[in-house]
Amino acid sequence: MCLALCLSLAGIAAPQTARAAGPVQSFRVPSGFLAFGQIPPRGTLVKAERIVDRAGEHLLVVTLRAGPSGAAKATPGAVERFELFAVLYTRKDKAWPQTWIIQDHVDCPGLDSSAKFFPDHITVTDLDKNGMAEVTVPYTMSCGGGVDANELKVILRQGEQKLALRGTTLRNTTVSAAYGGEMRFDAALSLKENAAFKAHLKLVRDKIYVED
C-alpha cells in the first residue's frame, strides 16, 4: 500500500515531496501508522514522529520496555529492568531501514529502579540551518534506594553525529540541602561549530532536571 494512502488512513497529510526543499518538517504520527510501515515497536510506544529533511523522509520511534531482571539475584515477578530505545528509520523505496539508534538500559535487581523519557521535550530542530534534522532525546534512569539523584542524559543525533549532556537530576530542592544536579558535556561540544547544539542541550536539560 502506498505511503500517501497509509498517511491518509492514519489521518496525516502527505507532503508533496519526500525531501524538504525548505525548513525541516516534523509531524506526530499515531501508533497505527507504524503497522503500515511494518515497524514493530520495541516495547511501549512513547512517541512517534515523521520527519522530512534534505536527506529524505524519516520515522522517529521512541519506546520503553520494562520487565524482569535477568540477573541471578532478581526478585521473582518484579519489574527490575528497563530498556529505552529511540530509533530513526529512513524511507528507501517501500522499506524503512534503521538509520541510527539511541539505546540504553538499567537492570537493578533487588533495588528500586525506573526509567523514563520526556516526550514533551523530544525535539526535532535544524539549529545549524543545513537542512538536516537534529533529534534530541532526554531521559532519566535510576537504580538505588529511591532517594538518590537519578542519572540524566540528553542525547542529540544528526546523522552519524552524536552529542550528549550527561549528569544527574536535582533533588530535595524544597529545603536547604538540595543534592544532585551535576552536568557534563561531551568534549566535542566545546568546539565553536557546536555552540548552538550545546546551548540547546542545556536548555532541554534545564526544563527537566529538577525532580521535586
SS3 annotation, 156-188: EEECCEEEEEEEECEECCCCCCCEECCEEECHH
Cell of 18: 519526500
Q: Give the ranges where the chain is alpha helix by DSSP (H).
A: 3-9, 31-36, 195-208
Sign of CA dihedral 131, 208, 150, 87: negative
Looking at residue 22, its pLDDT comes to 64
Number of domains in the chain: 1
Cell of 167: 549528569
Structural domain contains residue 101: yes
Structural domain contains residue 12: no
Structural domain contains residue 72: yes
Q: Distance (Å, rounded) from C-alpha 111 to C-alpha 142?
A: 10
Q: Which domain holds residue 116?
A: 27-208
Structural domain contains residue 11: no
Structural domain contains residue 116: yes
Structural domain contains residue 166: yes
> What are the Cα distances from residue 11, in Å, to 49, 152, 158?
13, 35, 28
Structural domain contains residue 130: yes
Surface-to-core class of residue 192, CB atoms within 10 Å of its CB (0-12 exposed, 13-18 middle, 19+ buried): exposed
**How many residues in the chain?**
212
Looking at residue 148, its pLDDT comes to 83
Mean pLDDT in consecutive groups of 10 residues from the start of the chain, 212 residues:
42 45 86 81 94 97 95 91 97 93 95 95 97 98 85 98 98 84 98 98 98 82
pTM for the structure as a whole = 0.88
Structural domain contains residue 42: yes
Looking at residue 69, its pLDDT comes to 93
